[in-house]
């Protein structure tokens, strides 16, 4: 009697182990592993440069991250466009390197000298992955962007 009981317990253990093993095996005998996550979108190196032909203080707005959606950006663009106040000149550039998923939509830098009579002739340069894609200059401000909206 004891021998039958041992066999029965051993048999139940075998059935349980088999069921566990089958649970871990998917269709057609393949291991049921989670699908790998999709690859992360490629990030692009974006470099912003601002300078002026005459020393001056400028307000610079730039984009340093991709908004999740157009609606998020539209609702509050300044969340996605930080501002800095800096002095620039012919020998004094402002440079910033950022990483963006979609620079064609979101890469942007703008600089203005504000009110007053001075015209320091401000320049901006926008490079993506080491290639200059936009330059601009103006007497009191400049905008570099490659967005199409």
State pLDDT tens for residues 6-44.
444 444 444 444 444 444 444 554 445 687 776 667 999
Distance CA 27, CA 60 (A): 58
On the question of pLDDT at 56 being above 50, the answer is: yes
For 20, the domain range is 1-33
Tokens of 86: 């800096």
**Does 65 lie in the same domain as 11?**
no
**Does 134 lie in the same domain as 92?**
yes
In a domain, 38, yes or no: no
**Does 134 lie in the same domain as 69?**
yes
**Does 89 lie in the same domain as 27?**
no
Q: What are phi and psi of 20, to 5 degrees?
A: -60, -40
On the question of pLDDT at 133 being above 50, the answer is: yes
Per the structure, the count of domains in the chain is: 2
State pLDDT tens for residues 88-117.
999 999 999 999 999 999 999 999 998 889
Tokens of 5: 């009981």
Three-state DSSP state, 14:
helix
């Amino acid at each position: 009697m004891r021998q039958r009981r041992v066999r029965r317990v051993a048999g139940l253990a075998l059935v349980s182990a088999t069921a566990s093993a089958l649970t871990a095996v998917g269709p057609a005998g393949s291991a049921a592993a989670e699908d790998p996550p999709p690859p992360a979108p490629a990030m692009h190196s974006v470099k912003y440069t601002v300078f002026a032909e005459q020393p001056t203080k400028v307000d610079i707005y730039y984009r340093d991250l991709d908004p999740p959606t157009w609606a998020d950006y539209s609702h509050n663009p300044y969340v996605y466009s930080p501002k800095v106040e800096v002095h620039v000149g012919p020998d004094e550039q402002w440079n910033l390197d950022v990483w963006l998923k979609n620079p064609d939509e979101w890469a942007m830098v703008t600089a203005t000298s504000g009110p007053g009579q001075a015209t320091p002739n401000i320049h901006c340069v926008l490079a993506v992955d080491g290639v200059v894609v936009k330059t601009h200059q103006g007497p009191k401000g400049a905008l570099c962007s490659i967005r199409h909206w």
